[in-house]
Structure 1
Amino acid sequence: MSVPVAGHFDNDEARPDEIREDDLGAGRKPWGSRATAMFCSVVILGVLIGVCGGLLTLMLYGIEHVMLGFVESPELPGPFETHPWRRVASLLAGAVAAAVAWWLLRTRTRAVPSVRKAVQGALMPAWQTVVHVLLQIMIVGCGLSVGREVAPRELGSMLAQRVCALTGVHRRDLRAVVAMAAGAGLAAVYNAPLAGGFFAVEILLVDVTAPTVCLSFLCSAVAAWVATLIKGTHAFYLIGEVHGLFTPDTMGFALVAGLCAGVVGALFRKGSSWAESRKASGTAILWQLPLAGLVTGVVAIWIPQVMGNGRATAQMGFSGVAEWSFIPLLALSLVAKAAVTLMTIRAGASGGVLTPGIAIGSSLGCILGIVWVHWCGSAPMGLYALIGACALLSASQNAPLMAMTLVMELTEAPSNLYVPVALACAVSVLTGRWVTGRLERRRAASE
């Protein structure tokens, strides 16, 4: 007998990627009513995911210390003081090790499905998922250009399937709990409970009923809090003093930035989809991923901020100065970060694009801010970079609530900035959808 997690199947046979009762021990007596079992599961998962999120962060710091001789922080977000050839060696070593491990994992064992497929009912195999998660953290620590936020989401999904089997969560509720756990993984590593809750509700479930929203935020809040007990807490990005800047100048910039970020965000989303759909498979990963690591290393000799999950590139935008001479460096960092991120994913690496998207948006916002300040603006550059980051991430993820809350939480920005940020995000998403529609119609016409 099978336990469908989501959707309806026309026969009684379980599909190959579907959760079976003998896989997880499903069918146990629930812990009380459906609501009680679900509530208990969410609380337990919040604690477990918080512990895992804290430990994954410490693991990342440890790998950075061993491989690059630094530990990222708001004051030193990238390996700027590391010798250039050590950067190359770290990237190449990490890429070679990951290529071999992923080749073995993907060709010799049960495949690890995506989080979205797990929410739809695909089983997350236990040890394969753990290895897959650790590999993602490892390559980011070595400097490869991908985000680390997918790893805790996958781990949260796998844990949710096991915990729900123990608590006897009804199969109709399992889909929601898996999504909540994935969002809690995001919340744990970045101390972003709002973004974690919105990720589950806005992206995975598209469900805004009161119980779903409450439990999503509960799971993410518990995970974020527990993680801080292990890894501590601080602002992920520093944006300087931006209090009380809710002015016509800011609103005007938000409109312009939303339009520009919508175009760039749509192109980055398109590029990410292209890279993911053509990701190296089989033996191709054995040479393509090391080559991507080597290319990234060569680029990092002169542009070290391209390394890692994008924190260094983003911080450069958030700490920008209103000087024309700063624009070429920002533009070069923006293009390089986008290129090496897509190249790394195309070469076979698994990882996210949230923090690389923030990096690209911060750089774009700072570039636009420099032009704006010399024309009519007066706000600090950190605010312009903040608006650009929120807007681009909204367009690239097509999820404005998750995007703006994630960036606002990572920067610990004042809440009054939600007004211009919300305007920029709304404009960017609408613009991004228009651009995406145009590109799809053009492709259809050419075919």
Structure 2
Amino acid sequence: MSSARRIPRPATPQWLARLVVVTALVGVGAGIGGVLVYLGLHALQHLAFGSSEGDLYEGLLDAPPVNRVVALAVAGVIGAVGWWLLRRWGRRVPEHAIVSVEQSVEGRRMPPFVTLANAALQVVIVGLGASIGREVAPREVGALWAGWLAERAGVSARERRILVACGAGAGLAAVYNVPFGGAVFAVEILLAEVSFATVLPAFATSAIAALVARVVVPSNPLYQLPELHLSVTVVVWSVLAGPLIGFAAVGFVRAVRFLQDHRPESWRILIVMPLTFVAVGVVSLWLPAILGNGRALGQLAFAASVPVLLILLTTIVKAGSTLATIGAGAAGGTLTPSLAIGAGLGLAGGAAWNLLWPGAELPAFALIGAAAFLAVTMRAPLTALLLTMEFTGQGPELLVPVMLSIAGAVAVGYVLERARVTGIA
């Protein structure tokens, strides 16, 4: 049986001009969305903890400890009521159900009010200290804007798919100032296609969004690291540690998946989420770095400025608090929490390795662990590599051990995932 071949749309000057304009507008809108998310987060942090410079950890230390519990309690109540209403509405009116970025890329329309409300709730709880990533909100805003523009411009289904993915990647690029990582996120994860048709708009939208957001978002790297150097001991450690970090990351991913599938439904979220958030707030009285999207713990690990055992304990509790937040029914991401957890595990493992083979800088181990853990949780080694390097401002000096650790971790993740699908594990 023969099938009709799809005839591509002629590349007329009008068609090209429309695509160029729409692509540029996607980048501008995603950049503005990233700015709004950034400003909202830091306004809430300042309100709750007095952090005027956007550094949540310093604000946590300077503010009275009771503020952590109160802020988490408020976040739990707002989040619980908000998501209970949104999900209840979505069950009654399916066309107003929450639509993820991945579903939008595949063709589903994102309802504007529900999408913006869902993103706003994420900004509120993260700004008040909830232990979950903030990156989903700007991605949803960027994807919503791109989908709306695509409908108005009358582009094809394939062009809409590419624009929505690029809008989501551009939102990520804007809020974190990671234009390269945002573009590759859209191409590698959302589109899974490397071609001129995907790479060019992804690069353009992420670059424009990051440029627009730079008016507000700092241009310096998210994490500050000392100058790091390559050494034989670091290379050997990266080969050995990569698979071990992969095992830990797979466990984290499976726990996230399980909790997302068993989150409280209906009215139960009104009880579970506030209680969970208060419990996390109480624990933060002793371990404040578990709060927020993971930047606090990540910076401690990259700086190696406090005892390693304390960072390891904080890392374990951070993983638990993030899982508890997801299990309580909160929406959000695991990008920066994964980066922080990987950095903490890498630092702890590297400190032990340094006792056997001294001579390496401890932050190098944290960097390698962060990239490997993130690669498994995102299931995207290239995106994880680029995001880690952009987040930390690192150049090519440690590319070799980072790539080796990512390869080992992702290989373990792939094998365990295949075993799970086939019923072996």
Q: Same fold (TM over 0.5)?
A: yes
Partner of 1:389: 370
Give the structure 1 partner of residue 339 of structure 2.
Answer: 358
Q: Which residue of 2 aligns with 1:403?
A: 384
Partner in structure 2 of residue 170 of structure 1: 156
The question of whether the paired residues in 1 share the 8 Å contact of 2:57 and 2:289 is answered with no
Say if 1:378 and 1:154 are closer, same or farther in 2 by CA, change over 3 A.
same
Displacement of 1:256 in angstroms is 2.0
**Residues 266, 433 of structure 1: 8 Å contact kept:** no
> How far did 1:319 drift?
1.2
Q: Is this contact kept in 2: 1:80–1:305, CA < 8 A? A: no
- SS of 2:311's equivalent? helix
Residues 199-230 of structure 1, C-alpha deviation per residue, up to 9 Å, x if partnerless? 11111111001231121111111111110112
The answer to whether the Cα contact below 8 Å between 2:347 and 2:362 also exists between their aligned partners in 1 is yes
The 10-residue stretch of structure 1 (255-264 or 401-410) with the greater mean CA deviation from structure 2: 255-264
Alpha-carbon distance in 2 for matches of 1:174, 1:192: 23
1:367 corresponding residue in structure 2: 348
Please state how far the C-alpha of 1:31 moved relative to its aligned partner: 9.8
- Structure 1 equivalent of residue 47 of structure 2: 66
SS in 2 for 1:229: coil
1:306 aligns with one of 290, 300, 309: 290
The share of aligned pairs that are identical, in percent, is 37
Q: Which one-letter code corresponds to 2:197 in the other structure?
A: P
State whether residues 191 and 224 of structure 1, in contact with CA within 8 Å, keep that contact through their aligned partners in structure 2: yes
Determine if contact 2:177/2:217 at 8 Å carries over to the other structure.
no
Q: Which residue of 2 aligns with 1:339?
A: 320
- SS for the counterpart of 1:185 is helix
* Partner residue in 1 for 2:243: 259
Q: How does 1:395-434 map to 2 (within 5 A)?
A: 395-434=376-415
Deviations 1:143-198 (A, max 9, x none): 11110000011111110111112222222211111111111111111001111111
CA-CA distance at 1:250 after TM superposition:
2.3
Q: AA paired with 1:225?
A: L
Structure 1: runs of 5+ lacking an equivalent:
1-29
Deviates more, 1:259-268 or 1:427-436: 427-436
1:295 aligns with 2:279: yes
1:81 CA drift (Å): 2.5
Change (3 A) 1:123 1:142: same
Q: Report if aligned partners of 1:145, 1:337 keep a CA contact under 8 Å in 2.
A: yes
Q: Which residue in the other structure is 1:19 paired with?
A: none
Measured after TM superposition, the shift of residue 75 of structure 1 is: 9.3
| Aligned-residue offset at 1:80 | 2.3
Note closer, same or farther for the CA distance 1:430–1:328 as it changes in structure 2 (3 Å cut). Answer: same
**TM-score normalized with structure 2 length:** 0.92
Q: How big is the shift at 1:37?
A: 2.9
Aligned-pair CA distance for 1:396: 1.4
Distance 2:385 2:136 in 1: 18
Q: CA offset at residue 70 of structure 1? A: 1.7
Contact 2:56 2:296 in 1 (8 A): no
- Residues 301 and 74 (structure 1), Cα distance of their counterparts in 2 relative to 1, 3 Å cut: closer
- The count of corresponding residues between Structure 1 and Structure 2 is 410
1:436 alignment partner, SS class: helix
Counterpart mapping for 1:73-112 below 5 A:
73=54, 76=57, 79-108=60-89, 110-112=96-98
What 5-or-longer segments of structure 2 have no aligned partner?
A: 1-10, 91-95
Taking the aligned partners of 1:260 and 1:73, their CA distance within structure 2 comes to: 34
Check conservation: 2:231, 2:360, Cα contact below 8 A.
no
1:398 and 1:219 map into 2 onto residues whose CA distance is: 23
Bigger shift: residues 371-380 or 148-157: 371-380
> In the alignment, is the contact (CA less than 8 A) between 1:257 and 1:391 conserved in 2?
no
The superposition leaves residues 360-412 of structure 1 with CA deviations (integer Å, 9 ceiling, x where unpaired) of 00001100111122211422211110111001000111101111111110111
Amino acid in the other structure paired with 1:124 = M
- Which residue identity lines up with residue 307 of structure 1 in the other structure? L
Q: 1:78 to 1:254 in 2, by over 3 A?
A: farther
Q: How far has the Cα of 1:439 moved from its partner?
A: 4.6
- Within the candidate set 213, 227, 236, 1:241 is matched to 227
Match of 2:5 in 1: none
**CA deviation after TM superposition for structure 1 residue 82, in Å:** 2.3
Equivalent position to 1:205, from 176, 191, 203: 191
Partners of 2:131 and 2:57 lie apart in 1 by: 17
Amino acid at match of 2:178: A
* Counterpart amino acid of residue 290 in structure 2: V
Which of residues 202, 208, 228 is equivalent to 2:214?
228
Cα deviation for residue 71 of structure 1 reads 4.3
